[in-house]
Amino acid sequence: MNRVCVSGMAALTWPLSEELSMYQRLGADLVGLPATKLATHGWPAALGEITLSEVEVEYLVHACQSDPNDEVGWVREVRSMLTALDQAAKLGARTLYLTVGPSGSLTWEQAATLFVGRMRPVVERAGELGIALALENTSPVRSDLSFIHTVRDAAELARVLDVGLCVDLYCCWQERDLMTTLGAAVERIKLVQVSDFRLGTMAFPNRWVPGDGDLPLTRLLADVLGIGYGGVVDIELIGPAIEAEGPENALRRALAWTTAQLA
């Protein structure tokens, strides 16, 4: 099993054909792609190009962004997630991971209750297709995308929905009792994401190649493996440092670093 995956975030603005060609040059044959990018490209054309590239898609990602009080917006969100699940099945992708959207004027509990209710048809469709759903923990800086900013909260909501987790170490590396939380939910973890961070950074998003920043990623990954996680490790790079170096070179170095850690 290839355990190292490359997120499409580094090439988010690239034409799909150029992005897929880059993965072929890198030998990155396991990738994750944003559903919105593929939908904008046109699902039939996107699926055709991906199939010809022989790149394996591990996951699609859908970022919910509608205010919880926006009923029409959430009808669109659910419709988009259902479409993404159908397309993921055609691609052979194993996971659709999500950001859960903002809380707006609501409390965490109120937003969570609405989210759970709205996700029922999505959870049902995912079960029918045999595709895992996973909730991601996000940085509080991105409160426009999510009200889940700790793995502990993500795990609780995932338990209520009986879905999986996408654990972004970049966003939770200082969380209290992190490995205890992950150990209790290890069977739910579908992806673990890595990227680095330089302390003092004030502009976001701004991720670095693993090993280029200040995060204790070697220890964190070893700890994650130590609790029994044996799944995919996903490299998610985006921001000025990646653009300055060039996504292809940054991903090449990140692949080498991550592969070495898992070895």
Q: What is the pLDDT along the chain (263 residues), one digit of tens a residue?
A: 569 999 999 999 999 999 999 999 999 989 999 999 999 999 999 999 999 999 999 999 999 999 999 999 999 999 999 999 999 999 999 999 999 999 999 999 999 999 999 999 999 999 999 999 999 999 999 999 999 999 999 999 999 999 999 999 999 999 999 999 999 999 999 999 999 999 999 888 899 999 999 999 999 999 999 999 999 999 999 999 999 999 999 999 999 999 999 98
Which among 241, 257, 237, 183 is positioned nearest to 31, based on CA atoms? 237
Instruction: Look up residue 125 and give its two tokens.
Output: 């469709």
Residues sharing a CB contact under 8 Å with residue 184, sequence separation 6 or more, in sequence order: 155
Between CA 171 and CA 49 the distance in angstroms is 33
206's tokens: 């701004």
CB 255 within 8 A of CB 28: yes
- For the chain, the first-to-last Cα distance in angstroms comes to 13
The total of other beta-carbon atoms located within 10 Å of residue 196's CB is 20
Give me the amino acid identity at 211: G
Q: Are 175 and 139 in contact (CB under 8 A)?
A: no
Q: Which residue range is the domain that position 114 belongs to? A: 4-262
Residue among 116, 83, 87 nearest 101 (CA): 116
pLDDT of residue 1: 55
What H or E segment, with its residue span, contains residue 11? none
Which residue do the tokens 């010809």 mark?
52
pTM of the model: 0.96
| pLDDT at position 202 | 87
Residue 16, token pair as written in the block: 């799909």
| Cα separation, 251 vs 235, whole angstroms | 8
Which tokens belong to 30? 């396991």
Residues 134 and 165: beta-carbon distance below 8 Å: yes
CATH of residue 40's domain is 3.20.20.150
237, HSE (Cβ side, Cα atoms, 13 Å)? 30
Distance set, CA 201 to CA 103, 170, 196, 214, 257 (Å):
26, 13, 11, 11, 22
The pair of structure tokens assigned to 21 is 């060609």
Q: How much is the pLDDT for 191? A: 98
Separation CA 7–CA 170 (nearest Å): 14
Give the pLDDT of residue 2: 61
Q: Say whether 182 sits in a helix, a strand or coil.
A: helix
Q: Residue 221's closest CA among 179, 165, 177?
A: 179
Are 20 and 49 in contact by the 8 Å Cβ rule? The answer is: yes
The identity of residue 192, as a single letter, is: V
Query: What's the structural domain count of the chain?
Result: 1
